[in-house]
Homo-oligomer: A and B are copies of this chain.
Amino acid sequence: MCGIIGIYNHPEASKLAYLGLFAQQHRGQESAGIVSNSGDGFLQHHEMGMVADIFDQSVLARLKGNQAIGHVRYSTHGGSSIKNCQPLSVTYSRGSVAVAHNGNIVNGGELRKKFEEEGSIFQTSTDTEIIVHQLAKEKPANFVDRLKNTLPRLLGSFSLVFLTKTRMIAARDPWGFRPLAIGKKDETYVVASETCAFDLIGATYIRDVKPGEIVIFNEKGMESIFFSPEQPKKHCVFEYVYFARPDSLIYGNEVYDIRKRYGQMLAREAGIEADVVVPVPDSGLPAAIGYAQESGIPFEMGLIRNHYVGRTFIEPEQSIRSFGVRVKLNPSHKTLKGKRVILIDDSLVRGTTSQKIIKMVREAGAKEVHLRISSPPTSWPCFYGIDTPSKRELISSSKSIEEIRDYIQADSLAYLSHESLFSFDPERGPKEFCSACFTGEYAVDRESILNHIARDELTV
């Protein structure tokens, strides 16, 4: 997962981009970068690490120009290297172009192989480089025309923001997998993965870039064209479940509100008698509030989160006991002691963390621990941009709910129903959202995904 930002027409564009990245830091902590358009060429700065550590006054002062795009990158399994930092900035026959990308091109491997066979070289392990290779091979003289030719060749998810010599251009895949919003602040246009970036900059949300749309920002304002006929929408529902900040509007809905609703539905579907409802902070918080409101059972912050986690932290040697989740979470004992506790978490992936938390809650004196998950069982890996483990690492893919309950040592375990996942719009939700991580119903490039999963299973 990643976060992107684009600023068009502001004398301190790189500073706004910096703020936009800071607000979206949760979308990627591995590296960050900004490319600005000085009018006289692109200027760039990339580094491994966190936004506030990478950019300082002197770096931002050097990134002159009225236009800038930026990117925060998530830590992925391999390939963690300065070379993979975005935005990617290249020159080709038409001059220079820079791009920031959030998403995953499912047919990227195929395209990469094709380009390599044609004699292309790759300097990164990102999908983004594939997009740029295709762009450079297109013949039309106009950038937008080349883009219109390029994007339909890509299967998968892509929310993109480009910088060219004179324009900023945003685009989104035909299914609308990943979010991409447009904001405005006086005469400045802003494009961001999440609207929380607008709030920090002081911009106002206008609308989303639409699936299949290319939006061009130039001196005349904002122009829109479509590179793809209408497709069934496939918005990622996991942005609601876990990824986005609760104060962001995603696909036009406020995330906090939807998460709270998930908690309410969970209380209806999987209610149980108990003394307290306790969130696993911070992501389980809105659902726990919803659950508590619906059930009437008191909401309590029974687990306290250490604010300073996230910074590099040295774990002591083996002679000191394994910390488990203690570095991050610690119980407020009195709230838990002797209580029947309903723990609310947003998802359950491998089960190891839940196991440790439940142990900690029991050690704090809880009489019963009932785990409620505000999403359905995650049984399938994501191929559309969320960095999930492989199928066999997903505990739900091989174990029944009862087996999982036993593994994590909960008194009871229940998940949100698949229906309730779309309770915010029961009619259009199931049609317009991708929930493949829960169902395995991969809507785009299904065959190659299933082949990939099958191969992966064999390599166990």
The number of times this chain is found in the oligomer is: 4
Beyond A301-B246, A301-B285, A330-B247, whether A316 also contacts B119 by CB under 8 A is: no
Contact residue among B53, B133, B300, B326 (Cβ-Cβ distance under 8 Å from A289): B300
Beyond A82-B46, A332-B246, whether A120 also contacts B120 by CB under 8 A is: yes
Tell me how far the C-beta of A199 lies from the nearest C-beta in chain B, rounded to whole angstroms.
5
Residue A307 interfacial (CB < 8 Å): yes
What are 16 sample pairs from A and B whose C-beta atoms fall under 8 A apart? A12-B316, A15-B314, A15-B320, A16-B316, A18-B314, A22-B308, A22-B327, A25-B308, A56-B314, A120-B120, A200-B330, A246-B332, A254-B335, A256-B332, A256-B334, A257-B335
List A321-343 residues whose CB lies under 8 Å from chain B. 321, 323, 326-327, 330-335
> Interface code A45-88, partner B: CB below 8 Å = 1, 0 otherwise?
01000111101110010000000000000000000011100001
Task: Give A residues with C-beta under 8 Å from B.
Answer: 11-12, 15-16, 18-19, 22-23, 25-26, 44, 46, 50-53, 55-57, 60, 81-83, 88-93, 113, 116-117, 119-123, 125, 129, 132-133, 135-138, 196, 199-202, 245-247, 249, 254-257, 260, 282, 285-286, 289, 292-293, 298-301, 304, 306-308, 310-314, 316-317, 319-321, 323, 326-327, 330-335
State whether A196 touches B330 (Cβ < 8 A). yes
Tell me how far the C-beta of A287 lies from the nearest C-beta in chain B, rounded to whole angstroms.
11
State whether A199 touches B330 (Cβ < 8 A). yes
Please, which residues of chain B bring their CB within 8 A of the CB of A129? 121
State whether A121 touches B132 (Cβ < 8 A). yes
